[in-house]
Amino acid sequence: MKSMIKKDEKGRKKVINACVEPCAIEKGMRLIGGKWKGSIIYHLKDEPVRFNDLTRMLGGASKKMVDQRLKELEAEGMVLRKVINDRPVAVTYELTDFGRSALGILDDLRVWSETNSIG
């Protein structure tokens, strides 16, 4: 049911049928909207990437931040972590099918941002 804003007899606004749970946009933003999440997904679009390479690709993100975001994306089922060597430990990250499903949205956002960028 769609929420609506109604005015009472004194002109005060009241929301009818307000969302009790986060709306679909908010849920989507929680998945890909965290700092660096969209960039991580975008950099994994072509092939699996090793952790240190991914950190270098992101530039301004600390290793701790990249590690934290990768763990979140893995827990959400968007990224798959694969151990490729035990000693020394080496891992790669790649997108799951669910993670790949966000690429169209992120590319649209990239185009929109490039088109509407100020300065």
Q: Tell me how crowded residue 26 is: count the other CB atoms within 10 A of its CB.
A: 11
Q: Residues 94, 48: contact at Cβ < 8 Å?
A: yes
pLDDT (tens digit per residue) in 32-86 = 888 899 999 999 999 999 999 999 999 889 999 999 999 999 999 999 999 998 8
CATH value at residue 52? 1.10.10.10
Q: Residue 4: inside a domain, yes or no?
A: no
The letter for the amino acid at 102 is: A
Task: Kindly state the tokens that stand for 4.
Answer: 């609506």
Q: Residue 95: inside a domain, yes or no?
A: yes
Which pTM does this prediction carry? Answer: 0.77
Q: Residue 3: inside a domain, yes or no?
A: no
**DSSP output for 62-101:** -HHHHHHHHHHHHHTTSEEEEEEETTTTEEEEEE-HHHHT
What range does the domain containing 49 cover? 36-119
pLDDT (tens digit per residue) in 30-42 = 888 888 999 999 9
Give how many domains the chain has, as a whole number: 1
